[in-house]
Amino acid sequence: MSYLFTSESVSEGHPDKIADQISDALLDHFIAFDAKSKVACETLVTTGQVVLAGEVKSKAYIDLQKVARETIKEIGYTKSEYMFDASSCGILSAIHEQSPDINQGVDRTSDEEQGAGDQGMMFGYATNETDNYMPLALDLSHRILKELAHIRKYENELLPYLRPDAKSQVTIEYDDNNNPVRIDTIVISTQHDDFANEQAMRDKIQNDLINILIPRVKAQLPVHIRELFNENITYHINPTGKFVIGGPHGDTGLTGRKIIVDTYGGKGAHGGGAFSGKDPSKVDRSAAYAARHIAKNLVAAGVANEVLVQVSYAIGVVAPVSLLVDTKGTAKVNLTDGEISKIVSEIFDMRPYAIETRLKLRNPIYKETASYGHLGRQPETITKRFESANGIDVVEVEVELFTWEKLDFVEQVKAAFNI
């Protein structure tokens, strides 16, 4: 019997995502000036206020207020009527030094013996239902909001009433063989300027999003995904009727409160640890990226159609406690999941320092991850520029983004599994 599956996404202007982006922007600045920085930075945003908290051990001195304001401005909160804008919001910092009790378990004489920054389990997932090996409902939810943000920032004349806060949700119907057969429902809530006539506002926004936004999203997709769109899709556009009050004025935002949006949209699994604001010694982040790297390369190599990877750690301990590969019954090789797991553990070194090195994580690459998902993104090399607090020291660094999305182990995996 067919079934429905739903995933959601939120825009860069959503309060929780503002918090994530500020935390990762601060992390990038610390790492740019001191690659060995240890950072665990949390952000809270609410009406007219930003609160920064957390633990940092770094040789770098960062103008925290400047970084936060620049991030808020880039997102689009630049008008006083939003009740939260980059130039006037208050910013309070309560950041202090990292606990030496934690640090002694992480830092070692030899980099290779670096211990895990915390205990816990992390998951990586991949499926062949999309070209980027991500769950389709989440991929479409992200695409809708990325295109909406592109219109707001760069083609504002198309939808001149858009404000930064938005959410999307996509429901897919699957058949008995777990293949997507059609899009059932699309939900979009977008913040907007006030209108004199509320009914005219509702009609215009619904018409614009269905007839301007959705066709632009469809045009980005391969033919077999476009065919899932149909005339019977149920659309819920701004279902509350009005969405003028939004952003941090409408809802308090916190770092790490959108972990399912950040990962797999409810498919696979999640260990519970957030990503943003954490340097790569925190395996909550680095091991989750490494697990995704494993899962994606396994599916791309043809080991299985769907893969869930679990890895776990003890704080201060170098080697992972466990590593499991679950193929969900889709394995294409004549091996048990336990046998697959053993081979995978021999291919991929999951010690924290090995992960940092393999995925080039000791670089300022994190702000770009903090909206529209950390996974399923396109690897690319860019140059980033950072100014120190005194405005004199400037660092320009070329970095690789989303290295965990590279299919650079496919041939090695094929050789190991005789594919």
List pLDDT tens digits, range 205-250: 999 999 999 999 999 999 999 999 999 999 999 999 999 999 999 9
Residues 236, 153 within the same domain: yes
Boundary of a domain, candidates 202, 231, 247: 247
**CA dist list (Å): 389 to 55, 64, 345:** 19, 8, 43
Mean pLDDT on 97-110: 58
**CA dist list (Å): 16 to 10, 27, 286:** 9, 17, 21
Boundary of a domain, candidates 192, 221, 247: 247
Residue 16 marked ligand-binding: yes
Tokens linked to 282: 């925190």
Task: Identify whether 202 is part of a domain.
Answer: yes
Residues 289, 241 within the same domain: no
pLDDT at 394 over 70: yes
Task: Identify whether 21 is part of a domain.
Answer: no
pLDDT at 347 over 70: yes
Total structural domains within the chain: 2
Residue 198 marked ligand-binding: no
**CA dist list (Å): 218 to 139, 212, 317:** 12, 10, 47
The model's pLDDT over 358-370, given as tens digits with 9 standing for 90+, comes to 999 999 999 999 9
Residues 411, 307 within the same domain: yes
Tokens linked to 372: 């529209």
pLDDT confidence bin for 35, thresholds 50/70/90 = very high
- Assign residue 169 the CATH number of its domain: 3.30.300.10
Residue 251 marked ligand-binding: yes
**383: containing domain:** 120-127+283-416
Task: Identify whether 268 is part of a domain.
Answer: no
Residues 236, 301 within the same domain: no
Boundary of a domain, candidates 247, 267, 300: 247
**Distance in angstroms (rounded) separating the CA atoms of residues 365 and 379:** 11
Residues 201, 312 within the same domain: no
Residue 42 marked ligand-binding: yes
Return the pLDDT at 299: 98
Residue 167 marked ligand-binding: yes
Residues 332, 406 within the same domain: yes
Residue 166 marked ligand-binding: yes
Angle formed at CA 311 by CA 310 and CA 316, multiple of 5 degrees: 160
Task: Identify whether 85 is part of a domain.
Answer: no
Residues 156, 242 within the same domain: yes
pLDDT confidence bin for 104, thresholds 50/70/90 = low
Mean pLDDT on 122-150: 98
Residues 243, 287 within the same domain: no
Mean pLDDT on 113-118: 80
Residues 217, 326 within the same domain: no
Task: Identify whether 146 is part of a domain.
Answer: yes
Task: Identify whether 141 is part of a domain.
Answer: yes
Residues 215, 311 within the same domain: no
Residue 349 marked ligand-binding: no
pLDDT confidence bin for 103, thresholds 50/70/90 = low
Residue 296 marked ligand-binding: no
Residue 98 marked ligand-binding: yes
Task: Identify whether 212 is part of a domain.
Answer: yes
Residue 36 marked ligand-binding: no
Q: Output DSSP code: residue 267.
A: S
CA dihedral 348, 349, 355, 357 (to 10 degrees): -100
Task: Identify whether 294 is part of a domain.
Answer: yes
The model's pLDDT over 1-16, given as tens digits with 9 standing for 90+, comes to 899 999 999 999 999 9
Residues 165, 288 within the same domain: no
pLDDT confidence bin for 117, thresholds 50/70/90 = confident
327 and 304 in contact (C-beta within 8 Å)? yes
Residue 165 marked ligand-binding: yes
Mean pLDDT on 393-402: 94
The mean of the pLDDT values for the chain is: 95
Cβ atoms within 10 Å, residue 56: 22
39 and 62 in contact (C-beta within 8 Å)? no
Residues 217, 310 within the same domain: no
pLDDT confidence bin for 392, thresholds 50/70/90 = confident
* Ranges 156-160, 300-304, 385-389: which has the least confidence: 385-389
pLDDT at 69 over 90: yes
**Distance in angstroms (rounded) separating the CA atoms of residues 221 and 143:** 10
Mean pLDDT on 295-316: 97
Residue 55 marked ligand-binding: yes
Kindly state the helix (H) or strand (E) to which residue 395 belongs, with its residue range.
Answer: strand 394-401
